[in-house]
Amino acid sequence: MVRMAPHGSHHAFEALPHLAKSLCEEFPGVQIHSAAVSDRIGRAEFQFVRNDPAYSGLRRRIYDRPDPDVTSIVVATTTLDASIPPDQDITFIKIDIEGGEYHALKGAESTIRRTRPVIVFEAGAASTGQYGVTAGDLYELICTIFHYDLSTMKRWLNRLPSYTQLEFEHTWTNGLDYYFIATPHV
C-alpha cells in the first residue's frame, strides 16, 4: 500500500506485539497500532496460531490445516473510529483479520459514513461465521446500513452487477469466494 500510494497517510493494525514491532521497523512512515481491530476498545483474548500467525484472531476459526498450534494471549483492542483522526480522509480500507471483519466494520461506522472509502475484506462461514455473524448480518451492515454495493474482486473488475443478498449468502455458505469489495452505492 505504501508503494502504491507513497504520499498517503497509512495506518496498520497488528494485534501481535512482536509483529507490530517488526512493522514499525520496516515501515517507519506508517502509523502502526499495536491492537486488534474490533467494535470496542479494551483488552481481549486472542487466539494466536503459533505455526501460522496469519490464522490468528480474536476467536478460533475453522482452520484449513490439520495441526493448528493455538494458544490464547491477551491483546489490546481498538476501533477504527477511535484510531483514525476525525479530520483524516480515508479512501481505502483493507481488512483481513480471520473472522473479525464484521466487528471491525461496526467499530468503523462513523469513519465509513464520513469518508465513504472503498473496503476490501475477507469473510466466510469458516472465519467470520465463527464470530456469531451470518452472511445476512454482514450484507445488511454493508448494503443497507452503509449504503454500499458488495461484490467479489473478479466480479467488480469485470463490471458485473453487485451481489444480491441471496447471491452473497450462497457464496458465503459454499465457500466459493472469500475476498470481497464494498464500494459506495452511487
Question: CATH number, domain at 38?
Answer: 3.40.50
Q: How far is CA 154 from CA 45, 96, 101, 158, 179, in A?
A: 35, 18, 20, 6, 9
The pLDDT of residue 126:
84
pTM for this predicted structure: 0.93
In the chain the first and final C-alpha atoms are separated, in Å, by 25
Where does the pLDDT of residue 115 fall: very low under 50, low under 70, confident under 90, or very high at 90 and above?
very high
124 pLDDT higher than 90: no
Asked whether residue 130 is domain-assigned, the answer is: yes
Three cell numbers written together for 171: 457464496
Q: Are 154 and 171 in contact (CB under 8 A)?
A: no
Three cell numbers written together for 17: 506485539
Asked whether residue 23 is domain-assigned, the answer is: yes
Q: Are 104 and 38 in contact (CB under 8 A)?
A: yes
29 pLDDT higher than 90: yes
Asked whether residue 43 is domain-assigned, the answer is: yes
Asked whether residue 2 is domain-assigned, the answer is: no
Number of separate domains in the chain = 1
Asked whether residue 55 is domain-assigned, the answer is: yes
In tens, the pLDDT along 132-175 reads: 999 999 999 999 999 999 999 899 999 999 999 999 999 988 88
Nearest by Cα to 84 from 146, 145, 122, 31: 31
In tens, the pLDDT along 57-100 reads: 998 888 888 889 999 999 999 999 999 999 999 999 999 998 89
- Beta strand 70-78 with 42-49 is antiparallel
Where does the pLDDT of residue 128 fall: very low under 50, low under 70, confident under 90, or very high at 90 and above?
confident
Over residues 4-23, mean pLDDT: 94
Asked whether residue 134 is domain-assigned, the answer is: yes
The pLDDT of residue 143:
97
Asked whether residue 3 is domain-assigned, the answer is: no
Q: Which residue range is the domain that position 61 belongs to?
A: 11-184
Asked whether residue 1 is domain-assigned, the answer is: no
